[in-house]
A and B are shown apart, each in its own frame.
Chain A
Amino acid sequence: MNTPGPQAVRIDVRRLLRDTLAPLRPNLVTRPTGRAVRDAIERCLTGAGGAPFVSLIDLTRVPVLDFSCADEIVARLLVKYQTPDRPLDAFFLFRAAGDTHRHTVDAVLGRHDLAAVCDLGDGCCHLLGTATDDEGVAWRTLERRRRIAPGGLAPVLGDRGDAVLARLAERRLVFLGPNGTSLALSAVASHRSHT
């Protein structure tokens, strides 16, 4: 039986940059560029409505992503949408270009004590940034299984399982459905995406 889950919205940042911001600037460098891209992403998201959704931010066609830009785009988006007064019920999944982006994204997340789900193009998603051991175990288990019903983590984390998944949901790293089933963001993005 399918659990009702959020839709996914895919945003190609290179296209966003080309079409709306800086047609001749292929790279994500400097803070003002990062701020402008973040604003443009948020404008794209406003059409998504009030229901929860996963925003797939695709950075793969951006050659250079510097720390300032990554801080403005990745970290500050997450900070804003983790607060209870977030403007939309958005979750974020980032697609990045392998190790060249991984290091940058990981560093800026660590600076803010944040974590994010990131597809590095190697066939699986990764949890980058800061997470406890339990959070890492729970997230990886969910990522493998794609969905976990209440109590489903007990064999791995015992009584702590549901609480850890709830904490991951609070951190917007998994989607927790109304019936208590947890969904991996990657599973949502791969099955329910539209651009």
Chain B
Amino acid sequence: MPPSVRPPPATSLPGASEMRVIEIPRSLDYRNIESLYDQLDPATAGPVLFDARRLRWIDPNGMLCLLAAGQVAAKAGSAPRISLPNQPEVTGYLDRMGFSEAARRVFEFGTGSRWRRRPGPSDVLLEVTPVTKNSDVHEVVERVQARAGAILSKTLKYPASAVVQFSVILSEVCQNIIEHAEGPGWVAAQAYNWKRRLGRQVAVIAVADIGRGFCASLEDEHAARFGERWGDVAALEAAFLLGLTRFPDTGRGQGIQQIRKQVARWDGLLSIRSGTARIADTPGWSSKPPIEEGLRAFPGAQINIILPERIG
């Protein structure tokens, strides 16, 4: 299914009229993530089933979006359930990515679940990792330092020093959850071969939380100066383009600015979705627009970073 084709809105399960069913498309990644958001209604309570049986491919953005959606459903008072992908290689991949383990804390599984706990060491760049406190950021950085060197240098052909810059990016985006979201979040990263899509290998980093979001976080400090323009787009522009934060001191707000610079040096894509909008630095190889507005409302913030293999 092409990523631009959106599945139908959430439906009710026959015989269980109160159960909303959210259909997970065959492929779920940063390009068609809105197809999932479009089926979600954070304000609606009641049981929800995330039907992932047809799922064949999912990237870290898709995984974290699923977790965030489940968490939102749980907050609304329902006990979210998730059905397993039919393909064993898909569930195996989700196990290796640590999604299954994280999902256990969010979703109810049916009996006879085939999802297992995360197996031993693997080639995963960074498994789905909850981020709630500063020690989590330290652990993420240490884990990535031990693993990312080979992927960045051999797969993406970045210089040896890139592992430090990569670690700094992860540290800053994870701190964004703790300092601004005031709620739990996750981070995950993996390298993929985008042979058909881009003709190159890429590393995909996803960060998601369901906290306050940029608009609420910045509102007290900055809404007045934007006047009637204030909203999700203005808040994202304030943070992304101007480096504003809710903290009045000078040294704040440079995390996102410095991530933008580093991602641009690597010809990468950086986007942040919050509330009903998304802002992005888009390289030449991406067709993503720099601003999207009027999206389905969703709490928190979701950050997507794609770093392509260096060429030339």
Contact A112 B250, beta carbon cutoff 8 Å: yes
Q: Is B164 an interface residue (CB 8 A)?
A: yes
B282 at interface, CB cutoff 8 A: no
Q: Tell me, in angstroms, the Cα distance from A29 to B255 when the chains sit together.
A: 12
B258 near A64: Cβ-Cβ < 8 Å = no
Residues of the A chain whose Cβ atoms lie less than 8 Å from the Cβ of B67: none
Interfacial chain B residues near A75, Cβ < 8 Å: 251
State which residues 1-55 of A face B: CB under 8 Å: 22, 25-27, 29-33
Q: How many Å lie between the Cα of A169 and that of B220 in the bound state?
A: 40
- How distant is the Cα of A66 from the Cα of B164 in the complex, in angstroms? 9
Complex contact A30–B171 (CB within 8 A): yes
Binding-face segment, A103-111, A134-142, A149-157: A103-111
CB neighbors of A among B224-275 (8 A) = 250-252, 254-255, 258
Report Cα–Cα, A27/B165, bound state, in Å. Answer: 13
Residue of B145, B171, B251 near A71 (CB, 8 A) is B251
Q: Could you tell me which residues of chain A, from 137 to 180, have a CB within 8 Å of some CB in chain B?
A: none
Nearest chain A CB to B239 CB, angstrom units: 15
Interface digits, B127-170 against A, CB 8 Å rule (1 contact, 0 not)? 00000001001100110010000000000000001001101100
0 or 1 for each of A48-71: is its CB under 8 Å from B? (1 = yes) = 000000000000000111111001
Q: Say whether B179 faces chain A, with CB atoms less than 8 Å apart.
A: yes
Give the dominant DSSP class at B's interface.
helix
CA distance A22 to B250 in the complex (A): 27
Q: Which residues of B contact A31 (CB under 8 A)?
A: 175, 179
Cβ contact within 8 Å between A108 and B145 = no
Number of interface residues of B (CB under 8 A): 22
B164 and A67 within 8 A (CB) = no
B172 near A76 (CB under 8 angstroms)? no
* Complex interface: chain A residues within 8 A of B252 (CB): 71
Looking at chain A's contact residues, the main secondary structure is helix
Interface centre among B171, B251, B252 (most CB of A within 10 A): B251
Taking CB as reference atom, which chain B residue is nearest A30? B134
Question: Is there an interface contact between B167 and A27, defined as CB atoms closer than 8 Å?
Answer: yes
Contact B255 A26 (CB under 8 A): no
Residue in B164, B171, B172, B254 whose CB lies within 8 Å of A108:
B254
Residue of A nearest to B162 (CB): A100
Which of B142, B145, B172 is the one whose CB lies under 8 Å from A66?
Answer: B172
Tell me, rounded to whole Å, the shortest Cβ–Cβ distance linking B142 to chain A.
Answer: 7
Docked Cα-Cα span, A100 to B262, in Å, equals 12
A99 close to chain B: CB less than 8 A: yes
Q: Which of A30, A67, A76, A103 contacts B137 (CB 8 A)?
A: A30
The answer to whether B137 touches A26 (Cβ under 8 A) is: no
**Chain A, interface residues (CB within 8 Å), range:** 20 to 34
Most central of B142, B167, B254 by chain A CB within 10 Å = B254
Beta-carbon contacts under 8 Å, B153-198 to A: 161, 164-165, 167-168, 171-172, 175, 178-179
User: Which residues on B sit within 8 Å (CB–CB) of A27?
Assistant: 138, 141-142, 145, 167, 171
Establish whether residues B161 and A67, one from each chain, have CB atoms under 8 Å apart when the complex forms: no
* With A29-B137, A29-B141: A64-B168 Cβ-Cβ less than 8 Å: yes
Tell me whether B250 and A111 are in contact (CB under 8 A): yes
A71 to B243, CA, bound (A): 15
Q: In the complex where A63-B145, A63-B164, A64-B164 touch, is A29 in contact with B254 (Cβ < 8 A)?
A: no
Q: A26-B142, A27-B142, A104-B168 are in contact. Are A32 and B251 (CB under 8 A)?
A: no
Q: Are B161 and A25 in contact (CB under 8 A)?
A: no
Report Cα–Cα, A71/B253, bound state, in Å: 11
Pick the 9 closest A-B CB pairs, nearest first. Answer: A71-B251, A29-B171, A66-B171, A30-B134, A100-B164, A64-B167, A66-B168, A25-B138, A30-B137
21 A-B pairs in the complex with CB atoms less than 8 angstroms apart = A25-B142, A27-B167, A29-B137, A29-B168, A30-B137, A30-B178, A31-B175, A31-B179, A33-B134, A33-B138, A63-B145, A65-B168, A67-B255, A68-B172, A71-B252, A76-B251, A99-B161, A103-B165, A108-B251, A111-B250, A112-B250
**Residues of chain B at the chain A interface (Cβ within 8 Å):** 134, 137-138, 141-142, 145, 161, 164-165, 167-168, 171-172, 175, 178-179, 250-252, 254-255, 258
